[in-house]
Copies of this chain bind each other. A is one copy, B any other.
Amino acid sequence: MTDPCFPECGVARFLTLLNGPWATLIVRELLHGPHRFNQLREALPGISPHTLTSRLRQFERHGIVTRTTYAEIPPRVEYALTPLGEGLREVLEAMGTWAMAVPDPESGVTA
């Protein structure tokens, strides 16, 4: 039943790989399927190209995301999750499930 040592072993690594406020949000977007650079920018209101590139590069290094370049006249680059990255779906879903149980910060944290 959930060996006590089981979560801790990985939590730290998870935090290392998905550090920063944007990291997880980018993965969440990629969970919908491959995205082009500007597609991600549009899907992530407020993110700067600098940050987006930075996170994406880190994901590449860690084998979470793949970068595919299409040498066409209008340059096209697609970012997609690797199987490893896909595995994050369960984690994100757990986050989402939990958060939905969180009372609105403004609606009487009375509970």
Contacts and interface: CB of A to CB of B under 8 A. Distances in A.
- Contact count band on A: 35 or more
Contacts of A98: 10, 14, 87-88, 90-91
A16 to B, nearest CB: 8
Interface string A96-111: 1111111101000101
Oligomer: number of copies: 2
A17 interface: yes
Interface stretch (A19-27, A34-42, A49-57, A71-79): A19-27
A16 B18 CA distance: 14
A92 B31 contact: no
A3 B4 CA distance: 31
